[in-house]
Amino acid sequence: MLRKHVLLVEDDLNFGSLLCRVLQRAGYNVDVAASMAEAKEFLTLTQYAVVIADWRLSDGDGTVILGWASQLGAKTALMSAYLLQMPGGRSFDHETLTKPIPPQEVVSLVQRAIGTPTAFST
């Protein structure tokens, strides 16, 4: 069975921690990266079912991370408070979430993408 593992890339540590806790309570395995560099490291070590990244990170562009994740077979979602300011076409390959995001909306997105975790998920 496909691992229900989520990578969350968010440089706002408080928001990232909140989303991590909400997803974990919903039964998902979650890793949180605070930068592009950290996300790239996670992607080389673990196969993720879903990768959710903020667009504007302290060290780069979250769409780059989502491109890497997509090539590795992950479902992807982009989140930002600045989606309307994003250059055309950069978000087309990814589901989008506009900040501020109710945490339950992130859980719903993951459930739609990969389903609900079961007792047999690892």
Contacts of 61 (CB under 8 A, 6+ apart): 36, 55
88 against 21, higher pLDDT: 21
d(CA 84, CA 22): 27
d(CA 122, CA 119): 8
CATH class given for the domain over 5-114:
alpha beta
The whole-number pLDDT of residue 85 equals 63
The whole-number pLDDT of residue 4 equals 87
pLDDT in tens, 43-69: 999 999 999 999 999 999 999 999 999
What tokens appear for 93 in the block? 């390959």
> Mean pLDDT across the stretch 87-96?
66
What tokens appear for 75 in the block? 């479902």
The whole-number pLDDT of residue 9 equals 98
Please give the backbone phi and psi of residue 13, each rounded to the nearest 5 degrees, phi first.
-60, -40
What tokens appear for 8 in the block? 């969350």
